[in-house]
Amino acid sequence: MPAATSKSAFLRGIRAAAPFLVVVIPFGMLFGVVGTEAGLSLVEVMSFTTLVIAGASQFTALQLMAEEAPTLIVIASALAVNLRMAMYSAALAPHLGAAPFWQRALIAYMNVDQTYALSHQNHEDHPAAPLADKVAFFFGTCVPIVPLWVAATWTGVVVGAAIPPQLGLDFAVPITFLALIGPALRTLAHVAAALTSVVMAVLLSFLPWNLWLLAAGLAAMIVGAEVERRMALRGRP
Partner 1 sequence: MSGYSTLEVWIIILALGVGTFLIRFSFLGVLGDRDLPPWVLRHLRYTAVGILPAMVTPLVLWPHGAEGGLDPQRIAAAAAALALGLWTKNPIWAVGGGMVMFWCFGWLLG
Q: Which of residues 53-82 bind partner 1 (CB under 8 A)?
A: 53-54, 56-58, 60-61, 63, 65-66, 68, 71, 74-75, 77-82
The neighbour count for residue 106, using CB atoms within 10 Å, is: 16
140-169 residues in contact with partner 1 (CB under 8 A) are 167-168
- CB of 4 or CB of 43, closer to partner 1: 43
> How would you class 209 by CB atoms within 10 Å of its CB: exposed for 0-12, middle for 13-18, buried for 19 or more?
exposed
Query: Shortest Cβ distance from residue 55 to partner 1 (Å)?
Result: 10
Torsion on CA atoms 73, 75, 80, 82, rounded to nearest 10 = 160
Binding segment for partner 1 among 8-16, 120-128, 151-159, 178-186 (CB under 8 A)? 178-186
Q: Quick one: how far is CA 200 from the chain centroid?
A: 23
Judged by CB under 8 A, how many residues of this single chain contact partner 1? Answer: 97
Query: Shortest Cβ distance from residue 69 to partner 1 (Å)?
Result: 9
User: Where in the chain does DSSP place strands (E)?
Assistant: none
Among 5, 44, 151, 154, binds partner 1 (CB under 8 A): 44
Q: Quick one: how far is CA 37 from the chain centroid?
A: 22
